[in-house]
Amino acid sequence: MQKVTKPFNFARMGTAEEFKNTMTQAGLPFPVDENVDVLATPVKLGNKVIPNRMCIQPLEGFDGNPDGSPSELIFRRYKRYAEGGAGLLWYESITVADDGRCNPLQMVIKPSTVSEIKRLVDESNAAAVAKYGRRPYNVLQLTHSGRRSTDKDWNPTPLAVVPNPYIDHHNSIDGRSGKITFATDEKIEEIIQGFINAATLAYEAGFDSVDIKVCHEYILRELLAAYNRPGKFGGSFENRTRAVFMIIDGIRKNLGDKLDICVRLNAYDCIPYPHGWGMKKEEGVMEPDLTETIQLCKMLVGKGVSLINISTMMPRYQPYGRGYLAELEGSEINPYAGTYHLLKATKEIKEAVPEGVFVCTGLTWLEQFGGSVAAGGINQGWFDIGGFGRQGFAYPDFAYDLMNDKTMHRYKCCVTCDKCYDLIQKGHCQTGCVVRDQEVYLPLYRKNVQGK
């Protein structure tokens, strides 16, 4: 990862009010509430209930088995999540096809792996029931990695849908590039059918919902920005969103209302038009325009897809200045400004689509004040559920502490050091928290990152 600037010393801030005042003075007026009780309240979603308003977001550990099934490290991780108390477990990205893996150890959902994936869900649920008398609401994120695809030896095998001069030279987890293949309409239709088939398997595995992943740099997100692609999957808004709705309609045809459908969606791409989604339609201008994002969210809710997790390329990137290009150029990144602007965009989308149930992204950057911002955001109508990504690696029981101690303990929090990312980007190995889960991940870090 590139250098990030950290102008705030959270260790010296004693209260949420002090955090709020400091960030507001810096031009980042995060919503903050010292009373976090709202996080323990349930959310009704159709005929199901999410037990509380805390979500562990999909975060791959790069630690599946080569055949695509979950490893013992994955069983360990989700048991810790379930016992940690979050009411919404958004299971990590599982690809719908072997050629869509972003790393050789990503899980793949297929007939040969579904029984082990079901065991993963069952055992995680049992751990939550044993501790809380209820299980979480479980979402499985389905994906095809598209231009982020990788073969069994970690070599990039990018499958793109349209040329993109901003990122064509950067299409693997470690920054390397491979020879890009551009997907035909027939290949896109094959991937669409893969999502539909995978949803049926996810239902068999016991998930409450599947996430049709439309975020970061993966293929369905790229289709949203395929302004320059000819044919039925490019150009117009209808064409660029066609694949998402074909998947939704196909799942409904097969399963009816037996399985919920949700999406994790980029609010904007931090790449200028016509190569980025959710950006002002002036070539080269780095400025967000949420018009199409709001239009898509309204259409999704109209289709019964009411749970929407708002993200971007990564929350550290601002939709202004150099945006995502800062990562590629080696520029210094301000993750707090990026997180604030993403939460602000989530607020704007929520206000325009009040019927949706929105999960925010980026709270881990705020360390021990993430819970207070989650509570403030919910109470002030910015979003409905607080989403925590890397915090789950470091602090799987943050939800338990917020419900019982009314705070997140700093000594347990993610320190945003990026060592978990170094494990995958530099070490090409399993990842987790090197600082807070040292028994498992410090030896991997020493061997695969420091030892190289």
Task: State residue 2's pLDDT score.
Answer: 61
Structure confidence by residue, pLDDT tens digits, 80-121: 999 999 999 999 999 999 999 999 999 999 999 999 999 999
Task: State residue 277's pLDDT score.
Answer: 98
Task: State residue 341's pLDDT score.
Answer: 97
Task: State residue 56's pLDDT score.
Answer: 98
What is the band of 265 on the pLDDT scale with cuts at 50, 70, 90? Answer: very high
Task: State residue 173's pLDDT score.
Answer: 78
Tell whether the model's pLDDT for residue 378 goes beyond 90.
yes
DSSP state of 387: E
Task: State residue 330's pLDDT score.
Answer: 78
Task: State residue 353's pLDDT score.
Answer: 98
Beta-carbon contacts of 20 under 8 Å, excluding residues fewer than 6 positions away, are 29, 30, 32, 372
Percent of the chain with pLDDT over 70: 99
Task: State residue 352's pLDDT score.
Answer: 98
What is the enclosing helix (H) or strand (E) of 212? strand 209-212
**Are 32 and 376 within 8 A, CB to CB?**
yes
Task: State residue 249's pLDDT score.
Answer: 98
Cis geometry, peptide bond prior to residue 274 (ω within 30 degrees of 0): yes
What is the band of 54 on the pLDDT scale with cuts at 50, 70, 90? Answer: very high
Structure confidence by residue, pLDDT tens digits, 204-255: 999 999 999 999 999 999 999 999 999 999 999 999 999 999 999 999 999 9
Task: State residue 63's pLDDT score.
Answer: 96
Determine phi and psi for 93, rounding to 5 degrees: -55, 120
Quick one: tokens of 436? Answer: 């807070």
Q: How far apart are CA 422 and CA 399, in angstroms?
A: 26
Tell whether the model's pLDDT for residue 1 goes beyond 70.
no
DSSP state of 43: E
Tell whether the model's pLDDT for residue 122 goes beyond 90.
yes
Q: How far apart are CA 317 and CA 329, in angstroms?
A: 13
Tell whether the model's pLDDT for residue 44 goes beyond 80.
yes
Tell whether the model's pLDDT for residue 452 goes beyond 80.
no
> Per-residue pLDDT averaged across 256-282, rounded?
97
Task: State residue 325's pLDDT score.
Answer: 87
Task: State residue 24's pLDDT score.
Answer: 98
Pairs from 291-295 (Cβ < 8 Å, separation ≥ 24): 292/224, 292/237, 293/265, 293/266, 293/267, 293/268, 293/345, 293/349, 294/348, 294/349, 294/352, 294/353, 295/237
Task: State residue 326's pLDDT score.
Answer: 87
